[in-house]
Amino acid sequence: MIFYGTNGALVRTAPLPGVACPACAAPESLQLSVFSRYAHIYWIPLFPYSKPSVVQCAHCQQAWDTKGTPAALQPAVADLKKQTRAPWWHWSGLGLIALLIAWGAVAATRDARANKAYLAAPRAGDIYTVHSPGDSTKYSLLKVLSAKGNTVELVANEYEIDNRHPLSELNSPEKYSKEPFSMTQFELQIMQNKDQIIDVDRPE
């Protein structure tokens, strides 16, 4: 279940100078409280979207919310609200999302470089995650048995699953065929270029 909604926090309380209370005419008695409303998911603030306010007279205690603010007070209220910014933590959810996206992009770039390097210099034990022939939603594995010159001897996994990361589920000796076959490094690189090889793992 996803918990999402809105919340608010008091950002600033300051006097409204130069105006009298519309209710009791007391001078210099008005204070403005500015709030920041923000959207949240799992109680983590995503972004602020409004700045409601309340004007209250310290003398007669009369109060007006944003919609009920008398016209005579609106210019002073608007000016003070322009000077009031939402706190940085009301943007923390978007900041976290941006960091996760950046981290994912860096990790994907590193993984792509590693895959290219492993295919250029294959070793026994390397494992290729591949699309199953004829079905791009199914995935299986190829394991390198040996690499000599430009020729790579491989053995295919006899199982396939719909998980893009089948290594932990399929990588056991009894699931591989007993019949090896050979491919050239050039052919493997073509498979990678066509996204038929989507990942290369080199167990340490």
All structural domains of the chain with their residue ranges: 4-93, 121-201
154-176 pLDDT, tens digit per residue, is 999 999 999 989 998 999 999 99
Residue with tokens 């109060």: 63
Measured distance between the N- and C-terminal CA atoms of the chain, rounded to whole angstroms:
39
pLDDT range class, residue 1, cuts 50, 70, 90:
low
**What's the pLDDT at 18?**
87
* Residue 136, SS3 per DSSP: strand
pLDDT range class, residue 2, cuts 50, 70, 90:
low
Among left, alpha and beta (phi > 0; psi -120 to 50; other), residue 37 is beta
pLDDT range class, residue 195, cuts 50, 70, 90:
confident
**What's the pLDDT at 123?**
94
Is pLDDT above 90 for 139? yes
17-58 pLDDT, tens digit per residue, is 889 999 999 999 999 999 999 999 888 899 999 999 999 999
- Dmax (CA) for the chain in angstroms is 96
101: nearest Cα among 112, 90, 93, 113: 93
How many C-beta neighbours within 10 Å does residue 136 have?
10
Is pLDDT above 80 for 198? yes
**What's the pLDDT at 110?**
92
Among left, alpha and beta (phi > 0; psi -120 to 50; other), residue 167 is alpha
For the four alpha carbons of 10, 12, 13 and 15, in that order, the dihedral sign comes to negative
**What's the pLDDT at 199?**
94
pLDDT range class, residue 203, cuts 50, 70, 90:
confident
97-137 pLDDT, tens digit per residue, is 999 999 999 998 999 899 999 999 999 999 999 987 666 78
Q: Measured at the alpha carbon of residue 101, what is the angle toward residues 99 and 103, in degrees to the nearest 5?
A: 65
**What's the pLDDT at 151?**
96
- What residue type is 161 in one-letter code? I
| In 75-172, beta strands by DSSP E | 127-132, 135-148, 151-156
CB 13 within 8 A of CB 43: no
Q: Give, for 58, the enclosing helix (H) or strand (E).
A: none
